[in-house]
Each structure stands twice: as C-alpha cells, then as structure tokens.
C-alpha cells in the first residue's frame, strides 16, 4: 500500500490546481492511463481543494508503481515539468499509508480541523474508483476502514463539537472582519454541490439578507434552492450583473481554470459605486484570478491558502481531542495491518496444513491395508496419534509465521516455506 501526495502543507495552491483531477472525463482518463501502465495495481485518486493524493496497492511485489514512476505519470498526464513539484510530492508506504488515509478521513490532516466535508470526499473518491474498476481487495479494505475510523473518531472524541467547515471559517473569520452585519447584505453563490450548500446554510445562520445562486448546471441550482428556501436563482449568462449586485461572492465551481479575470471584474466594478465586496474563492482550481484584488481598494479576495493560518488556531485549541483521535487512528491502523498481514500468510498456512494432512491420510490408507487384523477402535487410535504428530510438527513453522506477520508481511519466511515444502501458488 502506498500513497503519493501533495497537500495544503506541501505545495502552493497554483501548483495543486495544475495537478488536480476534475471529476468526469479527465478522471476517467487518468484511471485508464494509470491502469494501462500498472495493470495489476489497485488505485484511488483523492483530489480536493486542499490535496491531490494517489493511493495504490497490489498483492504481489511484481513491477510495483514506484514513487518516481507515479511522479512521472502525474507530470506526463498534466503536462507539468517534474522539476516543478517533485520536491513537494510526499510518499507513505505500508502502515504509514494506511495511517495517513485514516487521518485524512477523520479530518486530522485538514485545514479546518474536524470538518465534516472531507469524509464525504473520501467516500466519493472511493466510489469513483470503483466505477472505474480501479479498486481491489486492499483498497476496498483501506477505504472502508477509513470511513469506519472517521465514525469512531466523531463518536469517541469532541473533535467535531462546534466544528467549522472551510465555508464557515471563511465567513466568520474573513467575512466578519469586513462587515459588522450580514442582514443587509446580498450574497452571490457561484457553483453547486456540497460546498455551496454548506456555505448557504452558514450564511443563513448568520442572518444574511438576500441570497442569489447561479451555476452552469441548472440541476445543481434547483437542488440548492430546494435545500435552502429563499435563495434566488440567477442565470449564469448574467453573472457579471449578479456580481455587481453582490456584497459577498462565494465561488465554488470546480472549473478547470479561473472564470473571472482582472479585466472582467474591472468592468463589473464599473457598474457599481465600488462598495466593499468580499470574494471567498473556495474553488480548486481558483475561480478568480489573484490579480482581481488589485481592481480597487474595496475588493477583498480570499482563497483557500488564506484560510490556513486561521485553521491552525483551531487545531491548537483542540489539541487534547486531536491526541485522543490520533490514539484511535493508531489503534485502528495496527489492527488493520495485522489483519492484512494475517490474510497474506493465510493461503500459505492453509496449503501447508492441507499438504501434510493429505500425506498422512494417504499413509493411513496404505497402513489400513497392511494392518487388517486391527479393530476399528485401535486403528482410529493410531490415526489420531498420527494427526497429533502432524499438528505438533506444523506448530513451530506456523507460529514463526504468525509472529513475523505481526510486524509485516514476512515475504522471506513465506518464500522459504514454499521452497522447503514445494508449495505452489
């Protein structure tokens, strides 16, 4: 098991944008190309606003997807020179990879500690990998385990109490630093999906006056308006007019390039009295070009990287809960790895037992023909004695195998047993 990744702590936002995978044809193409290179590998892409991660696993050690080859795949697929991101591309293997996924799903590794959105993103990534026939026994176990661990962390710790999402931090920390009140403000939501809905709910809780919603997807808009009564639908073709009317713009489109550049927003501002406007760009890649902030002094633009310092404060405030959550994650990681190692040794143990007991049965059949004078009870006693001898002879190698499997898959010992006893795969 392996994870190669860059996240909010290792790579700047612009580079993460260039390495991210959009849901749809691009992600399907990525799975198709990666599996053509590594046909015996299981894999899952986890691409969010804060991270780009690739999980791989395979039963055998034949032609594994090394860190260098996966980095080259990312470079070739996205047409990004390897030199631009290789230093920030991290790697975990074995139990470290499992622990990392468990931490991600439990929101220990998130910008906003305890945010509920990440586990849904993990679930979605897992489902998309299944749809692309990229999962197998190991990745199924890993991601199902991660989802279960996140439930246990939420249940047994207070990490999720008063939890705040990226959207709520953006509104509370940045929005309220500009505006004293929201009840007389107009908010424009650009985009759809879980992030947009969460932002809408938080703004309603803050008492916002008017909410406008627009998106290139009418279905998403309809879903949001149904979930949040009172929101007004605006045509996406009239985006400039909607932006001019807004005091707060929250953008979460997931487009593959910025939808608003300096010139476009400059023209938008010409339609207004240049009142203060807050832009919360929660898209990955960015929805607004960074230069937009320079249109005039009353434009306040914040993107995902701007949230990091505030989120770190939340992390420190919840240090005790983090410690308890990490204890749970370590415990579940150890349990998961022992189960994986046990499964890896299981087939060899079964074959060894079957082989020795088959030999003992064959010998007993021959012996029965030679000792026909024995009573059935006497012969059964001989048979039980031979079975006990076989079990005692098997005990030392099998115990050694179990002991070694607690530390990791004992490839050397497994290979030795297969060679010594002529066991075939």
- Which residues are known catalytic residues? 49
3-state secondary structure of 122: helix
How many Å apart are CA 270 and CA 155, to the nearest integer? 51
Give strand ranges (E) for 192-259: 210-214, 232-233, 248-252
* The token pair that represents 158 in the structure block: 């207070």
The full 3-state SS of 69-101, as one line of letters, equals: HHHHHHHHHHCCCHHHCHHHCEEEECHHHHHHH
How many Å apart are CA 417 and CA 395, to the nearest integer? 13
In terms of C-beta distances under 8 Å and separation of at least 24 residues, what long-range contacts does 15-18 make, across chains too?
Answer: 15/80, 15/84, 15/85, 15/88, 16/50, 16/51, 16/52, 16/284, 17/284, 17/285, 17/286, 18/78, 18/80, 18/285
- Work out the number of other CB atoms within 10 angstroms of the CB of residue 205: 11
- In degrees, rounded to 5, the angle at the alpha carbon of residue 317 between the alpha carbons of residues 313 and 321 is 130
CA distances from 335 to 97, 141, 330 (A): 14, 12, 9
Length of the chain: 425
| Torsion angle in degrees (nearest 10) through CA of 187, 188, 192, 194 | -20
* The token pair that represents 12 in the structure block: 């700047």
How many Å apart are CA 61 and CA 25, to the nearest integer? 31
- Work out the number of other CB atoms within 10 angstroms of the CB of residue 12: 12
Number of alpha carbons in the 13 Å side-chain half-sphere of residue 198? 19
Looking only at the bridges linking them, the beta strands covering 277-281 and 186-191 are unpaired
């Amino acid at each position: 098991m392996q994870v190669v990744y860059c996240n909010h702590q290792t790579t700047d936002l612009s580079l993460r944008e260039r390495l991210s995978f959009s849901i749809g044809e691009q992600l399907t193409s990525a799975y198709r190309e990666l599996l053509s290179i590594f046909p015996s590998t299981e894999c899952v892409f986890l691409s969010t606003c804060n991270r780009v991660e690739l999980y791989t696993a395979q039963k055998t050690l034949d032609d594994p997807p090394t860190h260098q080859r996966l980095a080259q795949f990312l470079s070739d697929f996205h047409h990004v020179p390897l030199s631009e991101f290789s230093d920030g591309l991290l790697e975990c293997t074995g139990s470290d990879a499992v622990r990392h996924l468990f931490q991600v799903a439990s929101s220990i590794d998130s910008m906003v500690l305890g945010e509920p959105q990440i586990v849904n993103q993990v679930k979605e990534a897992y489902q998309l990998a299944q749809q692309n026939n990229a999962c197998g026994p190991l990745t199924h176990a890993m991601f199902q385990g991660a989802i279960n661990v996140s439930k246990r962390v939420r249940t047994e710790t207070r990490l999720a109490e008063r939890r705040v999402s990226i959207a709520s931090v953006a509104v509370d920390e940045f929005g309220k630093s500009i505006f004293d009140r929201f009840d007389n403000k107009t908010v424009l939501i650009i985009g759809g999906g879980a992030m947009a809905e969460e932002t809408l709910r938080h703004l309603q809780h803050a008492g916002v006056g008017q909410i406008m919603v627009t998106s290139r997807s009418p279905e998403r808009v309809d879903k949001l308006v149904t979930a949040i009564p009172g929101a007004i639908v605006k045509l996406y073709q009239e985006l400039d007019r909607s932006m001019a009317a807004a005091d707060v713009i929250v953008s979460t489109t997931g487009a593959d390039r910025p939808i608003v550049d300096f010139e476009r927003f400059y023209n938008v501002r010409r339609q207004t009295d240049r009142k203060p406007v807050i832009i919360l760009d929660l898209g990955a890649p960015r929805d607004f070009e960074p230069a937009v902030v320079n249109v005039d002094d009353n434009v306040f633009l914040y993107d995902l990287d701007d949230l990091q310092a505030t989120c770190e404060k939340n992390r420190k405030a919840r240090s005790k809960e983090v410690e308890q959550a990490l204890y749970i994650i370590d415990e579940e990681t150890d349990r998961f790895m022992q189960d994986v190692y046990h499964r890896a040794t299981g087939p060899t143990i079964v074959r060894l037992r079957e082989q020795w007991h088959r030999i003992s049965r064959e010998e007993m059949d021959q012996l029965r023909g030679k000792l026909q004078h024995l009573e059935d009870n006497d012969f059964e006693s001989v048979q039980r004695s031979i079975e006990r001898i076989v079990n005692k002879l098997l005990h030392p190698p099998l115990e050694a195998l179990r002991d070694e499997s607690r530390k990791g898959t004992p490839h050397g010992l497994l290979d030795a047993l297969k060679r010594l006893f002529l066991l075939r795969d």
